[in-house]
Copies of this chain bind each other. A is one copy, B any other.
Amino acid sequence: MTKTVTFYFDYGSPATYLAWTQINSIIEAANANLNMVPMLLGGVFKETGNASPASVPAKGKWMNSDLKKHAELYEVEFNSNSFFPINTLNLMRGAIAAQQMDIFEKYSKAIFTGIWIKDLNLGDILILQDYLEKNDIDSTTLFGLAQSDDIKTILIQNTKEAVMKGVFGAPTFIVDEELIFGQDRLNFLKSALKT
């Protein structure tokens, strides 16, 4: 039976960016399905009592070097973002709008790249809209949709559902009933897809 990876994500998480660079090849190799679920990481932190590793200065410093080591290992571009932590509310509502408009992969690539390679402040709605237009995405339509009550509700529900399933950070993958946390646990994700 074909397995499905439910990938809970927030664009503001650098570890999620790294996992995103790897996920397609993992999905293809396992002949699995991918279900990307936008959630608000800040909401998850609040609900679970968790916090960003960067909230502990020594851990934040280590994490930065650790992310760079993983980027080298994966052979992908990665830069710290000068505006971290970015408020991702509009970005994550936008992700749901992009899913409904069937431009999700294009939108995700633009956002992940903008934050974690190009060092942009995509928490600023004006910078964000300008950036999307330059990437051939109709930001007026997208953010018109993103501000709908329907989409606001979906994001809240996704986040609540994530917490109910045991999610406390990002990226988190769920395969069958197994919760796999972290871009550094892709080996366990691959194993889960094999069993």
Contact = CB atoms under 8 A, between A and B. Distances in A.
Interface in A153-195: 163, 166-169, 179, 181, 184-185, 188
Interface stretch (A10-18, A50-58, A108-116, A143-151): A50-58
A56 B62 contact: no
A10 B67 CA distance: 25
Contact of A48 (B50, B59, B168, B169): B59
Contact of A56 (B49, B55, B61, B185): B49
A163 B56 CA distance: 12
A168 B49 contact: no
A106 interface: no
SS of A interface (majority): helix
A167 B58 contact: yes
A59 B168 contact: yes
B66 A56 contact: no
A181 B69 CA distance: 12
A58 B66 contact: no
A41 to B, nearest CB: 13
A193 to B, nearest CB: 15
Contacts of A184: 184
5 contacts: A48-B57, A49-B57, A58-B168, A62-B166, A62-B168
A171 to B, nearest CB: 13
B50 A168 contact: no
Interface string A26-66: 00000000000000000000001110000111110110011
Pick the most buried of A58, A163, A181, A184: most chain B CB atoms within 10 A of its CB. A58
